[in-house]
Amino acid sequence: MQNSIHINCDLGEGSDFDEQLMPLVSACNIACGGHAGNLETMHRTVRLAMEHKVEIGAHPSYPDRKNFGRNHLEMSHKDLRLSIEGQVLSLKQIAESEGAIMDHVKLHGALYNDAARDENIAKIIVECLQEFGDNFKLYVPLNSKISEFAMGKFDLVFEAFADRNYRQDYTLVPRGENHAVLSEKEKVFNHVFSMYKEGEIITVNGEKLPCNADTFCVHSDTKSSLEILNFLHKKFAEKGIRIKNA
């Protein structure tokens, strides 16, 4: 029996390649109006995911389309809760209207990073999502505050990034720095294979961190994302490993 690996991708964000990327992944995280996306793109992306039997997730963010949700945004606790609730509810209702279910929630950009290290934001997010019940999974970063708060409240899916370099404290190298993003297909494969098979993240400084990830993310806006995913299929297949559900 073949081994399998779970690959997720952020979609519905305005990429020109969503139709080509969707068949290559296990799960998609659909932008739901915060950093990108609208009702039309959510419907379209949900239908595309259903066509290819890909797991559907909500991808809420700080409400900051100007900066694509990649900058920290100062918000009151109430406003942050209302924003996340509205985004997740939109995707959940759209999925149900199309005859699908919302499988998971994964935060986007700066909100994802903030919830990983800020106890207050992590707690707000978890409490907010609990309003929807526990019938969906929550994608969380390794060694994060949100994973601590959400433990026992949700089915957690621990995530690592295929196309991003890590620092020694499990945080991602900021996008404004050199070597933050991995865009060469061979480097991405080696990075993922080390995490998946060896259980080790090789940091940007060459140090090794334990890694027990359940899913690996390839960003749709990473340069050559389509080439990267096709290459991952080829290289993992050569090793008897399939990309789950794809």
pLDDT of the residue at 245:
80
Q: Given this model, what pLDDT does residue 223 score?
A: 87
* Res 2 pLDDT > 80: no
Q: What is the pTM for the complete model shown?
A: 0.96
Class of domain 3-164+214-230+239-243: alpha beta
Domain-wise residue ranges, the chain: 3-164+214-230+239-243
Q: In the predicted model, what is the mean pLDDT of the chain?
A: 96
Residues of the chain with pLDDT > 90: what percent?
97
- Transcribe the chain into DSSP letters: --EEE-EEEEESSS-TTHHHHGGG-SEEEEE-SSSS--HHHHHHHHHHHHHTT-EEEEE---S-TTTTT-S-----HHHHHHHHHHHHHHHHHHHHHTT----EE---HHHHHHHHH-HHHHHHHHHHHHTT-SSSEEEEETT-HHHHHHBTTBEEEEEEETTB-B-TTSPBPPTTSTT-B--SHHHHHHHHHIIIII-EEE-TTS-EEE---SEEE--TTSTTHHHHHHHHHHHHHHTTEEETT-
Per-residue pLDDT tens digits for 229-244: 999 999 999 999 999 9
Q: What average pLDDT does this structure show over 9-34?
A: 97
What proportion of the chain, given as a percentage, has pLDDT over 70?
A: 99
pLDDT tens figures, 102-115: 999 999 999 999 99
What band does 1 get if pLDDT is binned at 50, 70 and 90? very low
pLDDT tier at 246, thresholds 50, 70, 90: low
